[in-house]
């Protein structure tokens, strides 16, 4: 019975992925004014879809909207036959950070090591407190 449920889950997740891909394929890239994009080369796709298991009974579908710089996260629950929007995040400011919640060495540590020729190593313990922004 558990194996049968797993196959139903995989089939349902695959169907959702195909449906999202079909929607993405139909979307027309637009320029900043909202008009259909025209140009000499092929336009980059507006949406990127990544799916993967996030638990025993759920699959996550992660959609990145290249135009608006938003990340959309969906939970696909095959047992309940549900697709649920879990989170939406505007990533436009995230990409401006050089590091955040990161372990040492930080980019400025590496830069200083290269400039001075010293090896500060990556095994230093982090001081208590937040990482510099």
What whole-number distance in Å separates Cα of residue 19 and Cα of residue 14? 9
What whole-number distance in Å separates Cα of residue 13 and Cα of residue 17? 6
- Reported pTM: 0.50
Give pLDDT, residue 91: 94
What whole-number distance in Å separates Cα of residue 114 and Cα of residue 88? 39
What whole-number distance in Å separates Cα of residue 8 and Cα of residue 110? 49
Query: Exposed/middle/buried for 17, CB within 10 Å: 0-12, 13-18, 19+?
Result: middle
Give pLDDT, residue 119: 72
What whole-number distance in Å separates Cα of residue 83 and Cα of residue 60? 10
Mean pLDDT for back-to-back runs of 10 residues, the chain (133 residues): 52 50 50 54 84 85 95 90 93 88 85 84 52 52
Give pLDDT, residue 24: 47
Strand residue runs (E) in the chain? 47-53, 58-65, 70-77, 82-90
Give pLDDT, residue 98: 79
For the chain, the structural domain boundaries read: 2-25+46-92
State both tokens at 23.
């929607």
Contact residues for 107 (Cβ-Cβ < 8 A; gap 6+): 98, 99
What whole-number distance in Å separates Cα of residue 58 and Cα of residue 60? 7
Give pLDDT, residue 130: 53
């Amino acid at each position: 019975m558990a194996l049968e449920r797993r196959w139903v889950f995989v089939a349902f997740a695959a169907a959702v992925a195909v449906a999202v891909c079909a929607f993405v394929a139909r979307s027309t890239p637009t320029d900043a004014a909202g008009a259909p994009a025209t140009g000499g080369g092929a336009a980059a796709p507006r949406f990127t879809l990544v799916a993967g298991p996030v638990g025993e009974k759920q699959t996550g579908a992660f959609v990145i909207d290249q135009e608006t710089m938003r990340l959309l996260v969906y939970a696909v629950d095959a047992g309940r036959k549900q697709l649920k929007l879990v989170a939406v995040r505007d990533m436009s400011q995230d990409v401006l950070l050089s590091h955040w919640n990161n372990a040492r060495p930080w980019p400025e540590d590496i830069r200083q090591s290269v400039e001075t020729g010293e090896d500060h190593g990556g095994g230093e313990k982090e001081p208590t407190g937040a990482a510099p922004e």
